[in-house]
Structures are given as C-alpha cells and as structure tokens.
C-alpha cells in the first residue's frame, strides 16, 4: 500500500475502483470542510466554465449552420477547447495516473 505499481504491472480493477472511490470521498470531505470563501470561489469557477462552454458551443453551432461543418479534426479540437476546465481538470487528471497500492 502507498507504493506505485511496477512498470508494466496491471492493477486489479477492484483495487482501482476502491482507490477511485476513496479519492472521491476525500475530495467531498475537503469540499465540505472548506470555508465560505473557498466554496464561493469554487461555485463561481464552476459557473464560469459552464457559461464559457455554453457560449463557445453556441458560437460553434451557429458558425456550422452558416458556413457548413468543418473537418472533423478541427471540430474535435474546438469541442475539446470548449470542454476545457482549466486547473480543476488538470488536478483531477494528475490523480488518475497509475494507481497506487
């Protein structure tokens, strides 16, 4: 426990699911114990990215209606940019690396 898996070793799916659940529970407890300012900041950040994504997807859709659909590669890049959530997403990706046992 607490040590990363050796290179090339396959993690047990049950252990992986358990570790993911534990991380989620720890994150929830951290959010509950956060102060008012941190909660407000998190709320505003979530709303900002929600409105940002909505505006970008609307612009992409209107452009597609007016000019036609672009190549799938370009469309995939635009949608990925619209779905980007900044530091919040990068932090969650770091936790999804190789599971530690």
- Residues 53-68: pLDDT tens digits? 999 999 999 999 999 9
Pick the most confident of 18-27, 28-37, 59-68. Answer: 59-68
Q: Does the pLDDT at position 4 exceed 90? A: no
CB–CB of 85/49 below 8 Å? yes
Signed CA dihedral, 10, 13, 17, 19: sign only:
negative
Pull the structure tokens for residue 74.
């370009």
| Residue 7 token pair | 């290179």
Site of tokens 């979530």: 46
């Amino acid at each position: 426990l607490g040590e990363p898996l050796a290179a090339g070793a396959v993690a047990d799916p049950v252990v992986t699911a358990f570790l993911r659940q534990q991380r989620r529970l720890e994150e929830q407890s951290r959010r509950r114990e956060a102060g008012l300012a941190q909660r407000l900041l998190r709320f505003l950040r979530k709303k900002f990215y929600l409105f940002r994504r909505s505006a970008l997807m609307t612009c992409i859709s209107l452009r597609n209606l007016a000019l036609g659909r672009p190549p799938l590669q370009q469309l995939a890049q635009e949608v990925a940019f619209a779905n980007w959530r900044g530091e919040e997403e990068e932090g969650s990706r770091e936790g999804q690396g190789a599971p530690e046992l």
